[in-house]
Amino acid sequence: MSASTTALVIIDVQESFRQMPFWSETDVPAFQDALLRLEAGCRAQGVPVVHIFHVGQAGAFRQESGFVKPLPWLTGAPDVRFDKHTHNAFTDTGLDLWLRRKGVNKLLITGIRTEQCCETTTRVGSDLGYAVDFVTEATLTFPMTHAGSGRTYSTQEIKAHTELVLQDRFARLVDVDTCLAGLAA
């Protein structure tokens, strides 16, 4: 992996989520640490940092809400920011064109929610021909309850399922240390 052809994509690490009833601080410290270590390492190697924010039609995801902004601890300015209106970061943003103009062919996917916007962006990115590293420890999600069975799935179960369906189909699963070692090589 070459730093000059790689981009760090940080998806939906935005204040909007803290306004949601499912928000939990439980996994935030580990997520924050992993993401900030990865971001610092990428910046040190000259890897462009892309921020993606979800803009919706209602509530805390509406642009007018004032919550479509980075979480307070994500203080570094991105090389570029795109606002999306779909689950993936490509469909309506111009991200693909920006990456191609920069010569990027490898994506490091991070952000909020592991199984939703991060996974969907990974799948679309892979379909568009990008090599994708999915950095699960630098993603965050929340417990979910299955509507039919009533069973609540833990964040660990959701992340494990996401890894299962992405591994060797759409992405390579890596941790922060593996990403940073690959950039330095």
Total count of domains within the chain: 1
User: Could you list the residue range(s) of the whole structural domain that residue 100 is in?
Assistant: 3-184
Domain of 13, CATH number, reads: 3.40.50.850
SS (H, E, C) the chain: CCHHHEEEEEECCEHHHHHCCCCCCCCHHHHHHHHHHHHHHHHHCCCCEEEEEECCCCHHHCHHHCCCCECCCCCCCCCEEEEECCCCCCCCCCHHHHHHHHCCCEEEEEEECHHHHHHHHHHHHHHCCCEEEEEEEEEECCCEECCCCCCEECHHHHHHHHHHHHECCCEEECCHHHHHHHHHC
pLDDT tens digits for 106-141?
999 999 999 999 999 999 999 999 999 999 999 999
- pTM (2 d.p.): 0.97
pLDDT tens digits for 62-101?
999 999 999 999 999 999 999 999 999 999 999 999 999 9
